[in-house]
Amino acid sequence: MPRWPVAAPFAALLFALPSAAWPQGGVVYRCPGPPVLYTDQLTPQEAKDKGCRTIEGAPVTIVQGTRPRTSASAAGGSTRASEPRGDAAEQRARDADARRILGDELRREEDKLAALQREYNNGEPERLGSERNYARYQERVANLRAAIQRKEADISAIKRELAKLPAP
């Protein structure tokens, strides 16, 4: 059975590759080292100094890398940085809304923390009926302790966010 029908899609892919992936006319050097380096970016003198050898006779494919895009804001955004973003009253209103939202969230989290601490009961919560096994009870105590620590961390994060806002 001929194998060319199987190889046909691969051959089509090979012909569809961009011209940047075809062998280039420059000299390619193989430089020794823990990571062996193949490069065409050295001058003959640099290659000699580093102990690199030219690769001749072997087909070498050089694939050009893509360059990172430069953002438009980095190129011409320096003049816009000094411009005000909006009216001062509008900014104060946004700050007041943010302060109100964070304050509400802080109160909710503090209420949840108080409920968790009541249930935790200084490390001795009441045993539930499903906790006849002492290991389950210990697991619930550990989960409560972890939940309390998370709530305390959340509350401190909200307080930090409130501190970042300008005074009313």
Q: Answer yes or no: is pLDDT of 63 > 90.
A: no
The more confident residue out of 16 and 161 is: 161
Q: At CB < 8 A and 24+ separation, what contacts does 91-99 make?
A: 92/168, 95/165, 95/166, 95/168, 96/168, 98/165, 99/162, 99/165, 99/168
Backbone torsion region of residue 57, taken as left when φ is above 0, otherwise alpha when ψ lies between -120 and 50, otherwise beta: left
Tell me the per-residue pLDDT of 81-125, one tens digit each, with 9 for 90 and over: 555 566 888 999 999 999 999 999 999 999 999 999 999 998 888
**At a CB cut-off of 8 Å and minimum separation 6, what does 109 contact?**
151, 154, 155, 158
- In the Cβ-directed half-sphere of 43, how many Cα atoms lie within 13 Å? 3
Structure letter (DSSP) for residue 118: H
Q: Which of 53, 62, 57, 54 is nearest to 21 (CA)?
A: 62
| C-beta of residue 40 within 8 angstroms of C-beta of residue 26 | yes
Find the mean pLDDT for residues 10-25. Answer: 48
pTM: predicted TM-score of the whole model, two decimal places: 0.47
Q: Are 106 and 158 in contact (CB under 8 A)?
A: yes
The H or E element that residue 60 is part of is: none
How far apart, in whole angstroms, are the C-alpha atoms of residue 86 and residue 62?
51
Q: Tokens 């970016």 identify what position? A: 41
